[in-house]
Structure 1
Amino acid sequence: MQDFVFRNPADHVEEIKQSFDEFTHLLALYADQPKEINKSFLKLLYDLSHIIHHHPDLATKFADQICSFLETHPESLPHDVRIQLVQAVMVLHNKSVIDTVSIINKLIPLFKLNDKNIRRCIFGHFILKLPFHQTNITKRELQKFVSTDYDARIAFKVLQLIIDIFHKENTEDLKTINFVARCINSNDPRVINTIVAFFLDPYLPRDTSEIDLEEARKKAELSLQVGKKTKSREKTLEKIKKMKVPLPQEPVQVISFIDDPQKFSIRLFALLSAPENGKVFRTREAQLRAMSLLSKIIATFQLDFDQFFNWAARFVRPAYDEITKMLAIIASAVHPLTSPDTLEDLLRNIANKFVADHLDEEVIVIGLNTIREICAKNPHGMTETLLSDLIMYKKSNVKGVVIAARSLIQLYRDVNPDLLPKRERGKPTEEDEQKVTLQYGEVKVDTEIKGIGSAALERPITQEEFQKSRVFGDNDGDGVEDDDPDRLEVDEDTLLEGSRVHKLTREEKIEIAREGKSEHKFRDRMADKTAGFSNKEKLKNKPFRLTRFRHAAGKNKDKSLSAVQKLQKKREGIIKMRYS
């Protein structure tokens, strides 16, 4: 019936009404017995959902009946009937019979059903359609389902939906970012881990890649070869050929857009440090990811969060499974405004447990590198006594330990040479004389714009001078801002520099072991003609020069013989010489 209605909708009004009346009758019949719905009802449902939009009055009633039937029998319906009803609602939404707000309120509650296909179908429809119908009203309707009043399964799926739509829209929506941050008050582990992944893992903005351009060019060439050559197709092909592949965009970090980082950090730390945190972060990896997010927020916003360092000190021990990751997380949380007293306790704890003569060289290297990275961010926690003890490891016999100790000496030559002994400060230069050691809380303030000088105080600067000042504005000269979260983070490989673990990774060890395995295989030894399985065979295949001690070896064996045995052997030798 669909084909005839699509051609002439006005000629089939009576047929549509009859079909609608029949559907209403069957729906009332199956209201008490939903499990007895047959295939003829599903066929009628499918046909009406595709043609009833030609008659708006009937379409509205039809949509209300389907939605009310789904609300009253969500779990008692058979699987195939339930999915047909959901698909009919989606078709009506595509035909603009049901508005976006109504379909959100009707289908989102179905996320709590124990039916994976239904959840996947609803989620896919919203991902496909909502970015094109996104308004403040639809955002509010979605966000209300994440509150604590609704089911945890619904909140988890809706939060996933909000995040996926945010990534698909490719816009820095501050309201959405801060809404996700406020959801940290939830108690559901899946919601918490989703929030951690959203803020911790950067996403790449959507762009047109080289593969997409190549596919578009091939399609345009194929249309010219197969179809008729027209000017429009030729122009399309020329445009595609002139298109350039865009430069790869940098990943977007959404941490810096949080409005209340202090409140967010307190809540996340409470989830981590509570005794029941095993229910929220059930694996070690999930716990480390949450700690990594917390350290990033502390360093990015320079929060006064000393309790994090005091709590993380319990994990600082060489026997911890992921000790390099843990030390990298702790070092990443340090910033210039971290309390010197807290840093002093932290550095002394690391030095006592990692930098000792009885420990392995890898442990000492990791400890010295961690202390160096912490002091590079905030050198005010180091004491003169501790520094003098640490730099004594430059006399070690292990190369990695020497390198780590010298790097610590070089750091304090640049930052605060007064803490070093006089013999370790090096020869002073003109630049060293001009350097001023900053105390805790002090910031170096420029009295003039870099690249311009004092000209900005006398006259308005030009556009060229302004661009020049932007180039010189970065302290490092690399064009990257110093407060970038990626630059503030300490990498795990940095702590392993100079150690044997860093030089030889696990994958390289496996490859080396596999390369030497074939030398000991039986078939390879049989194929090798120079290989032997006994001392006699090996002696036969040896070069002559290596066998010149065979006679002497035979004499040594005769020492264990008795006098009678020696005489008998001597006679046998004489007889062999006579008759040979």
Structure 2
Amino acid sequence: MVRHNNQLENNLPQLQYLLKKDPESYKDDFHTQYNSFQGMLEVFCGTPEQPNKKLEDMVMFVAQVVQCYPKELEHFPKQLIDILEKYDTVLYKDMRMQLCRALVLLRNKQLLLPNDLLELFFKLLRCDDKNLRDYLQTHIITDIKNLNAKHKNAKLNTSLQNFMFTMLKDSNTRAAKMSVDIMIELYKKNVWNDTKTVNVIATGCFSKITKVMVASLKFFLGKDEDDKSDNSDSDEDIDPKEVMMANKVNKKSRKRDKNLAKVKKMAAKAYKKKSKSESFNFSALHLIHDPQGMAEKLFHQLETTTKRFEVKLITLDVISRLIGLHQLFLFNFYGYIQRFMQPHQREVTRILQFAAQASHELIPPDIIEPVLKTLANNFITERNSSDVMAIGLNAVKEICCRCPLAMSEDLLQDLAEYRNYRERAVMMASRALVHLFRNIRPQLLRRKDRGRPTEATEELTEMKYGGTEAPDYVKGADVLLTNHKEEIEINSDSGSDDDEWVDIQHSSDEEMVEEINSNSEDEEENEEGYEEEDSEDYEDEDDSGTENEEKSLTKVERKKLNAQRRIQRKVDKVELAKKATLERILTDEDFKRIDMANVKKQVFSSTKGLKRLAEQDLKERSELVKLGDIENIYKKRKHDKASRVESVRKGQEGRESFGYKDGRMNIHCSKTNREKRKTKNFQMMRHKVKAKVKKSFKDKQVALRNHLLKLKKMK
């Protein structure tokens, strides 16, 4: 067999193909090339900073055929690792990249242990080569993800996490930043989502390297729902199909091509965002081992830092979330944040958001009360604009929602006076605050602001600092002892337009809240009269003799009697609930009925009529405060031309058209000359129109002279 060695020697891809196909037949050719590779490698080690394209090709050639000759190439992976460890920073960048690709190829062929390669790649992150760092980061994440695909490799993960902890303290900025980025990406991909990873990233919050610190802090912030859309409304309204069709039909131009490319990019981004799986942003905050210690260290770091204002805001956000989620005590935080509560302060709405996030019911009221007074003095004054006042009221509401005891009676009554303010934004914000306290602490409001008492408000107990309510029964379980049909029906005399009970779980929360706010005026009209209705509360339960006796009682005595009856009814309900809870095992259907009954307590008045569902019951209090709740300003929305035209057309439906109306009894009969004149050509009617022009003073004199001369001749 004649071999064309002279051709294979210079044609490495052809030789590589033949070696994989028949290793034994071309073994001599391989040894020739391998010996040549070893010689070039020795020469290269003398000058590693010089480029060597032929050696790069030889490295990849040997890595491709390493499985064909395992004994001969047993030490080949170790040889490449030693070169990278020894000359990592001085190697020519193309040669270093080729060696890393060869090692990745060997790792994919299971010829390298993951620990050895990953630790080497972490060290190579110090190199001043952005393309190499991106390539290494991608491989590290992919390799660790594949290693934990079927089951968690605890031993490997522990060793890598320990090594990563040392990399975070590395003096090299790029290596430390890339290490924290890798851990964050692995956490998001649910590969390293354990407590150790979270606490290793938490140490990065105290790094002296600003980039590492900011990346670690942003990890604990996640991505808020308020930042869902990065594009403007005009961009979202663009239909890609319309633009593509217009680009086909219309004349070609660079502007249309540019717009088409932009629309395609937007459509791809929207599709990618739509298909992205849901991520839980704030679960990492719950996995911190020592949240109190972390919050104190972050606050100390914040007080002594000289970094930019944006970095301070991120730190404030993390501290406030830690305080709110774990119910921590960091009293100096509130005094620090009060300094920034000014309407002219940059990012003031975010600062108010942090104040609300850091509020919880375990904080002593005298700590939060100065914050509320600062908001009232700096924001809720008539010298400010309506938007500033509304934002201040919204911030007070969010703080009181989490720490109701911080509100004083005098301050609440002063803020409640704005419920009839001339600006709608302030009025709605004040009424929302009043609605909140009607359902948590109605005794702080004036009698006229409390609204009609409901069954739920009557069951409220006085709130005390540190006090907890631990009932030994399921609230509302007394409904299980009644007929199921009676609970679904609604009283026809309640004043509601609906004939049956509506399941609010399928209703839109925003629509219900708007309905509450829009109907608050109806409630206030009846606020004064609910005292008189107390006397009629139990008339249907007593016989006629009892009614006659009550009529002889004074108003104060009737109120006392009704109060006693309410207390007795409350006791009876508790006893029934205990009886229903202790004598049976509750099913899912039972809990549904209990939940429905508890919701109806918020709706039905304890006296008469029907009360709107409270806002706080529609929207469960979340662990974190949304920025939109602070910036919730009620304004009339601006409409574009298309929506205005649509509303005009909708209003024109079913009405008579404007203009001339034909009053003829029979449409086939002729019209008058005056009516026909309106459809004639103007040139035909020009002489008659001219006659109607007002005469000048001179023309009137001439006409009068001619008239007088005519009269004189007639005599």
- Specify the code of the residue in structure 2 equivalent to 1:253: F
| Equivalent position of 2:116 in the other structure | 102
1:167 CA displacement: 2.5
Residue 433 (structure 2) pairs with residue 408 (structure 1): yes
Partner residue in 1 for 2:498: none
Aligned to 2:508: none
Which blocks of at least 5 consecutive residues in structure 2 are unaligned?
A: 1-14, 226-273, 481-576, 600-616, 646-685, 707-715
1:468 shift after superposition: 4.9
Contact 1:384 1:419 in 2 (8 A): yes
The total of aligned residue pairs comes to 475
- What per-residue deviation string (whole Å, max 9, x for no partner) do you get for residues 489-520 of structure 1? 222222333444xx44xxx58x679x99xxxx
Shift of 1:420: 2.4
CA contact (8 A) 2:369 2:407 kept: yes
Determine the structure 2 residue equivalent to 1:374.
399
2:334 and 2:349 map into 1 onto residues whose CA distance is 16
Query: 2:154 maps to what in 1?
Result: 136
CA contact (8 A) 2:323 2:330 kept: yes
1:318 to 343, 354, 364: 343
Check whether the contact 2:298–2:319 (CA below 8 A) recurs between aligned residues.
yes
Please, which of 393, 399, 416 is the counterpart of residue 391 of structure 1?
416
Aligned counterpart for 2:328 among listed residues 303, 312, 317: 303
2:625 to 469, 485, 490: 490
| Residue in structure 1 matching 2:280, options 236, 246, 251 | 251
Greater helix share, structure number: 1
Q: 1:60 to 1:486 in 2, by over 3 A?
A: farther
Q: Report the Cα offset of residue 265 of structure 1.
A: 1.6
Alpha-carbon distance, 1:128 to partner: 1.9
1:173 to 182, 194, 209: 194
Distance 1:458 1:328, change over 3 A: closer
Query: Which residue does 2:46 correspond to in 1?
Result: 32
For residues 222-278 of structure 1, what are the alpha-carbon distances to aligned partners after superposition, in whole Å with 9 as ceiling and x for unaligned? Answer: xxxxxxxxxxxxxxxxxxxxxxx9997563532222222112222332333323233
Identify the residue that residue 69 of structure 2 maps to in structure 1: 55
Superposition map of 1:78-227 within 5 A: 78-134=92-148, 135-139=153-157, 140-141=159-160, 142-169=163-190, 172-201=193-222
- CA offset digits 1:385-428 (Å, max 9, x no partner): 22232222234222322222222223223222332233433444
Structure 1 counterpart SS, 2:366: helix
Say if 1:436 and 1:419 are closer, same or farther in 2 by CA, change over 3 A: same
Structure 1 residue 570, shift from structure 2 partner: 6.2
AA of the residue aligned to 1:465: T
The answer on whether the counterparts of 2:217 and 2:318 sit within 8 Å (CA) in structure 1 is yes
TM-score, normalising length from structure 1? 0.72
Residues in 1 aligned to 2:32 and 2:331: alpha-carbon distance in whole angstroms: 74
The alpha-carbon distance between structure 1 residues 458 and 472, as it changes in their structure 2 partners (threshold 3 A), is closer
Contact 1:334/1:377 (CA < 8 Å) preserved in 2? yes
The RMSD of aligned alpha carbons is 4.0
What residue number does 1:261 align with? Answer: 291
Give the distance between the partners of 1:180 and 1:336, measured in 2 at CA: 30
1:417 partner letter: P
Larger RCO, structure (CA 8 Å, separation 6 or more): 2
User: In the alignment, is the contact (CA less than 8 A) between 1:336 and 1:377 conserved in 2?
Assistant: yes
- Whether the 8 Å contact between 1:56 and 1:97 is mirrored in structure 2 is no
Identity, in percent, stands at 24
Deviation at 1:119, TM superposition (A): 0.8
Using a 3 Å threshold, how does the CA distance of structure 1 residues 349 and 120 change in structure 2: closer, same or farther?
same
Contact 1:182 1:264 in 2 (8 A): no
Cα shift at 1:297? 1.8
1:303, distance to aligned residue in structure 2 (A): 0.8
Q: What is the rounded CA distance, in whole Å, between the counterparts of 1:109 and 1:475 in structure 2?
A: 63
CA contact (8 A) 2:474 2:581 kept: no
Q: 2:51·2:94 contact (CA, 8 Å) conserved in 1?
A: no
Q: CA deviation at 1:203?
A: 10
The alpha-carbon deviation at position 24 of structure 1 amounts to 1.9
- Paired with 1:476 and 1:154, the residues of 2 have a C-alpha distance of 57
Aligned to 2:380: 355
CA distance in 2 between counterparts of 1:203 and 1:344 reads: 28
Q: Is residue 486 of structure 2 the alignment partner of residue 465 of structure 1?
A: no
User: Aligned equivalents of 2:313 and 2:51: distance in 1?
Assistant: 51
Give the number of the structure whose alpha-carbon radius of gyration is greater: 2
Check 1:458–1:361 CA distance in 2 against 1; reply closer, same or farther (3 A cut). Answer: closer
Deviation, 1:100, is: 0.7
